[in-house]
Structure 1
Amino acid sequence: MADQTRHICGISGGKDSSALALYLRDRVPQMEYFFCDTGAELPETYEFLTRLEVILGKPIARLNSERGFDHWFEVFRGALPSPQMRWCTKVMKIKPIEAWIGDEPAVSYVAIRADEANRKGYISTKPNIESRFPFVEDGVDHDGVMKILDDAGIGLPDYYEWRTRSGCYFCFYQRKAEWVGLAERHPELYERAIAIEQKVLLDAGVNGDADFSERAMAGRQYTWSGGETLVQLRTRRQEILDKHHASMERIHEARRSIPVLEALVGALDDDDDTSACVVCAL
């Protein structure tokens, strides 16, 4: 009897998972590729996935949650997802993945690199799903990932010019400088994020900056970006950019041989040290 085990590779739209999909294309010809589509992804992500499908020579299954962000936003009574309450990851990514796999035996290939072996990605606890880490097993590091993408002729998604990871346009893990990048490149999406945030503030009865600051100190997250609203953040655009550019210059001076992308990542990390979503950041 033929082995019925499924082989699956999740693609977030980021560099590591995309490189893994290419790395495994000929090694695991029966591979099934999937992408959890929240309906709130960046346009650059969708464009990159289309190009990736051409190179892979097979479709990338789009896994949609039963309902989009607006539905779940109401279910959670207008509470913004946050590092403390990541309901977006649970209901729009993990649940669709596990529903798609079902109870069939499956091997899930996770895009954690050899130079970040201690990093955590999404690893299912379902007994029918076995996790594998090909980059760790084969010693593929950051440079190896970049070589895979360059050799395939696909390079990086365009959002890497201003952002260090894939994910929803309103992702609360964004750094301040990345929010500025969103406002400049996709002002309509920035306005949508403001509208969601303002609804939360209004429903919570938060009136004015002083009221917001007092309640923020109490620990509840009323805004996408910690400590200020997106309206306030936009007024600090130049201050944020100046700090970001200074960080890039400091990193570049310390390590003159590093690529521009690595300097960008380092500068954004210097802006904010929050961790990424375990599903989106691969």
Structure 2
Amino acid sequence: MPPYTKWGRTRSGCYFCFYQQKIEWVKLKETHPDLYEKAKEYEVPFEKTGNFFTWSQGESLAELEQPERMAQIKRDHALRVERQAQRKDNSTLIAVFSDHDTAEAPDEDDDQGCLVCSL
């Protein structure tokens, strides 16, 4: 398993992937605050229109990183995980392999983007 799965990523190692779940942004903030700040730098108004780009739909990373908001995201995520565990649907690959010990896996270059971002 790639090292980035150890701290909660489910899709790729790309720190600014706009497909991230809000809990993944929280984990990025807690685990790699420097990369979180780097992603935040992209959230600026476009000069010509004033439109504001955000990575996470409906809120900026500055809003998301507020302690009360991060706590709410963690609570919501815990509830989703609990409900999903009760459903016992088909497992995802990440769920299957998360039970395996990845501590002995060699360190990989975790700051590279996924294939889509490399094109």
Gaps of 5+ in 1: 1-155, 207-214, 216-220, 264-276
Q: 1:223 aligns with which of 54, 72, 76?
A: 54
Does 2:2 align with 1:157? yes
Q: Relative contact order (alpha carbons < 8 A, sep ≥ 6): 1 or 2 greater?
A: 2
Amino acid corresponding to residue 60 of structure 2 in structure 1: T
Aligned to 1:232: 63
> Does the aligned pair in 2 maintain the 1:180–1:237 contact within 8 Å?
yes
Aligned to 1:173: 19
> Does the aligned pair in 2 maintain the 1:252–1:258 contact within 8 Å?
no
Q: Tell me the distance in 1 between the aligned counterparts of 2:65 and 2:48.
A: 22
- Once the two structures are superposed, the pairs formed by residues 1-282 of structure 1 within 5 Å of their partners are 156-161=1-6, 162-197=8-43, 200-201=44-45, 203=47, 206=50, 222-235=53-66, 236-255=69-88, 261-262=94-95, 279=116
Q: Tell me the distance in 2 between the aligned counterparts of 1:202 and 1:225.
A: 17
CA deviation after TM superposition for structure 1 residue 230, in Å: 0.3
Gaps of 5+ in 2: 97-113
Larger radius of gyration: 1
Residue correspondences, number: 97
Q: Tell me the distance in 2 between the aligned counterparts of 1:260 and 1:181.
A: 20
Q: Any idea what the Cα deviations from partners look like across 1:9-50, whole Å, max 9, x if unmatched?
A: xxxxxxxxxxxxxxxxxxxxxxxxxxxxxxxxxxxxxxxxxx
CA deviation after TM superposition for structure 1 residue 194, in Å: 1.0
Structure 1 runs of 4+ aligned residues shifted over 4 Å read 256-260
Q: TM-score scaled by structure 1? A: 0.30
Aligned to 1:38: none
Matched position secondary structure for 1:279: helix
Q: TM-score scaled by structure 2? A: 0.66
Matched position secondary structure for 1:184: helix
